[in-house]
Amino acid sequence: MVRVIALSNPRLAQAFVDFMATRGITVEMQRIGHDAELWLADDSHLTDVEQQLELFLQDPLHPRYQEASWQAGKTDSTITYQRYSYLQRIRSQAGPLTLSVMVLCIVIYVLMQIIGDDNVMVWLAWPNSSQYFQVWRWFSHALLHFSMLHILFNLMWWWYLGGPLEKRLGTGKLLTITLISALLSGYGQSIFSGVYFGGLSGVVYALMGYVWLMGELAPQRGLNLPRGLMIFSILWLVGGYFDIFGLSIANAAHVVGLIIGLLMAFIDTRITRTLK
């Protein structure tokens, strides 16, 4: 069998299956999550199917396709739809590390609301001079968030960027970027503000830089951040330095994170080209 295409609308997919049936060609539909994959049983008909599919996609609502469904003895009622699930949507585009970090951030944020920010920061904040051997502190500061807007903004970007990266390049790559950017962005921020800071934004900016440059230099890796969003992130970074938003923003962490992400993407693409 040959996979022909995946369509997001099962109703239209079934119409094409029925139309090809009237031409004596068997195309099977398989449901994969919310999508419908079309498979051709006999690949000798592939050229004909591809030609008809091109015409179908240009005008899928043409009456001839509805008539084909009646001739094939099938109606729309045979198609069942799953209820849209936001949780399933989140899980489908994220790997185990992406989801684990999201859960950790939420749990810690709830704990901060219950026992207070200071009590949690005593254990998780960036180390002071007497705490350098408490290794977890070099990374755990990234899990701290101080407002609903803060955590929502960071987790949205973390899922949007980290999820696809983990799916395509693996958990190890996302873990490496996360640990390095958390460490170096935290160090950069500590120089300017001391140890009282937190948030995933340094890592998020590293992901922005990595995904954007990887999409520019190696689009075959399947990662992409639209240039408009990249420009927005730069403007947000610049606005933070001029206090345009009236928020307490970890500007140094953002800058260091962005530089780290760009450098890692550049190095990864150079290594890939060298190996080839």
Residue 33 has φ and ψ, to the nearest 5°, of: 65, -125
Residues of each domain in the chain carrying CATH 3.30.70.2350 = 2-78
Nearest-10 Cα torsion for 136, 141, 147, 153: -110
**Among 88, 95, 98, 94, CA closest to 33:** 88
Mean pLDDT of 25-44: 82
Confidence of residue 23 (pLDDT cuts 50, 70, 90): confident
Residues of each domain in the chain carrying CATH 1.20.1540.10 = 86-275
CA distance 29 to 14: 7
Selecting among 140, 185, 201, 233, the annotated active-site residue is: 201
Each residue of 53-104: pLDDT tens digit? 888 887 787 788 877 777 765 544 444 445 546 677 777 788 899 999 999 9
More confident residue, 114 or 245: 114
Third-level CATH fold of 86-275: Rhomboid-like fold (1.20.1540)
Write the CATH number of the domain with boundaries 2-78.
3.30.70.2350
Mean pLDDT of 187-214: 92
Selecting among 45, 145, 150, 254, the annotated active-site residue is: 254
Task: Please state whether beta strands 27-32 and 2-7 pair in parallel, antiparallel, or not at all (unpaired).
Answer: unpaired
Each residue of 104-152: pLDDT tens digit? 999 999 999 999 999 999 999 999 888 889 999 999 999 999 999 999 9
**Among 217, 152, 139, 215, CA closest to 183:** 139
Q: What is the pLDDT of residue 73?
A: 53
254 catalytically annotated: yes
